[in-house]
Chains A and B, each alone.
Chain A
Amino acid sequence: MRKSTFSARIRILLFAVLGVLIFTGCVSGRNGVSWADLELVGDNQNILVSFRDYMILIDPITGQPVPLVDSEGTVRVDADGNPRKWEVQNDGSEFYSSPIFVDDDLMLVADYNERLLTVNFASARIEDPTGVEIPGHVIVDLITNEEGTILYLPLSDRDLVAYDIDTMTELWRWETERGIWADIIVVDDVLYVASIDHHVYSLDAITGTLNWQLDLEGAVAAAPVWSEDRLYIGTLDRKIFMISVDGEFIGEPLEMEDWVWSTPVLQDGLLYATDLSGHVYAAEPTDDGFNLIWKIKASDDGIRASPIVTDDHVIVGDRGGHVFWFNRDDGQPVMVEGEEGLEPLEREVGSEILSDMLVIRRQSQEETSETSTGNSEERSDLLIVSTVNNGRLLVAFTLNDGIRRWDFGR
């Protein structure tokens, strides 16, 4: 009897384990909270990647980690005599926003797990691994006011908190209903804060008092952009609004096919935008709203990353792991000579693109770089694409013709 009961229990246990596997296996899950954040650092335009529990500095010319050097330029070595690279790793931390320099050597970085850490840039070390406790999670960039005296901490849970940067004492806080997922911007001592609570707030950057607020009827997850005294904001309710400096809607919003999770780009009087249905738009902002110039379906996988707009092209990276080049004038694909004649310029990176892409202007950089080859082909400007896959964290293409330069995985 005991043996039989034991056997029955084993069966039940196996059934339970199977249940757990089915339950967890059938639900798509991702590791972490958000995607990598990229930032260009220093004269060399090194790429600082903040993702999960690490930050790493990548040389844009070689695609390799930047070596850690001392004040005399000698590469530092670890205890085993191996050359050290500029990398910060802190077990238990999660970095989804770029650090901010508070002086030449010190950076502040927000750990998603409610910590503010100080990183010594010269030694690539966290000064105090436990950091300073902050009242919430952070997934977007920290910023300071124009004088660099006030640090603004946008919390994804609720508030925007302003600190005195020297003493780290709280100066004021602005409470939103749901939290801040979009980078905030500061223009002429005015903060523009867009929240997933559907509102955009204009605040005095010094005192935190409200200038005005608008209900956009949709969550905002992408940073607003300020151009020629107008604010442009995309929402998850499929619209891009144009707002005056006084907090008035200008004309009708631009209707999109799906959620807008990317920051629009304004160049030469035109607005370029993407949405999660995979459409790319070019529109002219007017006093009555937007004139749609062209709209194309670039991808079936949706586009989260903001477009890159060059003199001739609009470049977008989609969630399917493809990068597309379109002509700025008419939105038609850029055609290049392929194996079977002319074909659209499109490149595959093999994993989902969610982070905003970067452009590295290499001609000016080559002049200061020791690794310069002098080869004109090597001096092409670069497009840096980041994927959610650690093994293919960064991929570099030439900006104008999409030639793959290097891959970096970790």
Chain B
Amino acid sequence: MFDLIVNPFITLLAVLYQVLGNNTVLAIAVLTVAIRLLTSPLMIQQQRSTKAMQEIQPKLKQIQEKYKNDREKLSQEQMALYREHGINPLGGCLPLIVQLPILLALYQAIILALAATPFQLIDLSGRLLVPGLDNLVPLNNIWLNMDLTLPPTTNPTYALALPVFVMITTWLQSKLTMPAPAPVEDGKPNQAAAMTRSMTTIMPLMFGFFSLSFSVGLSIYFVVSNLVGILQYSLMGRAEWGRLFGREPQETGATPTIVTGQATKVEAKGNQVKEIPSSTKPSPSKQEKNDDQPVKRKAKPKARSRSSGNAK
């Protein structure tokens, strides 16, 4: 079933290889760019959805706070809020879900096309959908004296630069495209921001590890894909270049304009936190840690008694 996506990619890769003078690296680069461009509407939609969700976060939190003991009402209000702002709650994930098999197929196509052993090459048979491409097989897998089918560790030493490039470009992409952190509310940490920060650290390491373990051809795909991603975000005006120099973008500036009425409270809290100098930021966290635990202990019996009351 997955072959329905993989085989056209392999064929396209072979066609590009032929057109581009039997240059495997160029073929991988062009195919990666083409796929990234083709899936860019999905990426844009995902970005819009993520931004819109971010913008309504304060109001969403208010609703969650207000109806925390009435799940049904909470759900209704959330849906009403989404409707009001024209947001599909799955709008952020659906494009990702659609993109994932495409990216996996591209990855698999590169691995299969770069067949270097009998086992690998025989698995390539029957996958070239256009007649006349068989005489290209096996694709030339040597580039700058590196064997594209082998990991950097079994190539010349300079191949180890590729995982470094992968890590740098992954980090750059994460750093530039990371959404602006939402304001800290009620002294509570913003988990999404923490996760995003962690992503910026873990993703480059993860992809660096991939690049070190998998073939050099795959590293080229990662680097090109990251560079295209950065370019796309830049063209969309979403790349925060200032971050590279330690300048955080303005926090979700749209928040006050969208959140009205009850949102005043949220905005005020956000402002309060913003005014706290960075050197004193850990203090509220410690305070929060100390304050939270007793509150939680007290809250539990209350919640239980309420729910049992509802049940009756």
A interface, CB within 8 angstroms of B = 1-5, 7-9, 11-13, 16, 19-20, 22-23, 26-28, 30, 32-35, 96, 139, 156, 178, 181, 196, 198, 217-219, 221, 236-238, 258-259, 261, 276-277, 302, 304, 319, 354
Contact = CB atoms under 8 A, between A and B. Distances in A.
A33 B117 contact: yes
Report whether over half of chain B's contact residues are helix, strand or loop; otherwise say mixed: helix
A11 B122 CA distance: 39
A354 B122 contact: yes
Contacts of A13: 202
A26 B2 contact: yes
Contacts of B206: 16, 19-20
B135 A237 contact: yes
B108 A26 contact: yes
10 contacts: A1-B189, A8-B194, A8-B198, A11-B195, A12-B195, A33-B119, A139-B117, A219-B137, A221-B118, A237-B135
B134 A237 contact: yes
Interface in B4-18: none
Given A2-B285, A3-B289, A198-B135, A277 B126 contact: yes
Given A12-B198, A12-B199, A218-B134, 12 more contacts: A2-B285, A2-B289, A4-B191, A4-B194, A8-B197, A9-B202, A11-B198, A16-B206, A26-B104, A178-B138, A259-B125, A276-B125
A5 B198 contact: yes
B198 A32 contact: no
Contacts of B104: 22-23, 26
B122 A261 contact: yes
Contacts of A217: 135
Nearest to B210: A23
A95 B108 CA distance: 27
Name the interface size band of chain B.
35 or more
B248 interface: no
Contacts of B285: 1-2
Nearest to A275: B125
B163 to A, nearest CB: 15
A23 B202 contact: no
A302 B126 CA distance: 9
Among A11, A16, A354, the one with the most B-chain Cβ atoms within 10 Å of its Cβ is A16
Interface in B283-303: 285, 288-289
Contacts of B202: 9, 12-13, 16
Contacts of B191: 4, 7-8
B107 interface: yes
B161 interface: no
Given A2-B285, A11-B195, A277-B126, A236 B137 contact: yes
A214 B288 CA distance: 80
Contacts of B189: 1, 4-5
Nearest to A19: B206
A302 to B, nearest CB: 7
B167 interface: no
Contacts of B195: 8, 11-12
Contacts of B289: 1-3
A220 to B, nearest CB: 11
Contacts of A22: 100, 104
A34 B134 contact: no
Given A2-B285, A12-B195, A178-B138, A221 B126 contact: no
A162 to B, nearest CB: 24
Interface in B260-312: 282, 285, 288-289
Interface string B95-123: 00000100010011001000001111111
Interface string B236-269: 0000000000000000000000000000000000
A33 B115 CA distance: 11
Given A23-B107, A27-B107, A259-B125, A236 B119 contact: no
